[in-house]
Structure 1
């Protein structure tokens, strides 16, 4: 049972649910459950959630929350994102806690991936 007051579920917009599903399956190994033609529940991503069909997209520059994934092999993950059809919008950069990059998934929403500082 979820803890009281904890973040339990996140829902994200997608302009193209089929492309979003293919991308996250290929790039990150996520699984999905379809709930009709306008909703995909996410499984195996570390936090429960889903994608809903929308003409809008989540972008941090517009004030949207940014979903940040973790990788223990940042360059390899970036290559997998590109190979799966993601668009890198901020190449790998350093920040006080490590390194990260930002990308757009095929459904139009922005995500980031971070890793520990380079050794």
Structure 2
């Protein structure tokens, strides 16, 4: 399935112990995982692709909804014009680039692109 602009494309959770979380979701739900270094794992076979980021911080809301857009600069400008706040500016990661924003209710989401 190809990524579509403005659609939810990925969900990212926080985890204290990546090996423990992999075992839980593999045993309970048969998800499969791909390791991306010591602080990140991606999952599939769940209905929606996603990942877990290792954290030492207290987890209060561990989910990050990630939207897709092929032109990060364009959608970033549109978010700012719509009164959203950029919480983490555009950065690169294996497979693409992304940024985070805060909506008017205080929810943090991210937008990524493989372009």
Provide the TM-score with structure 2 as the length reference. 0.49
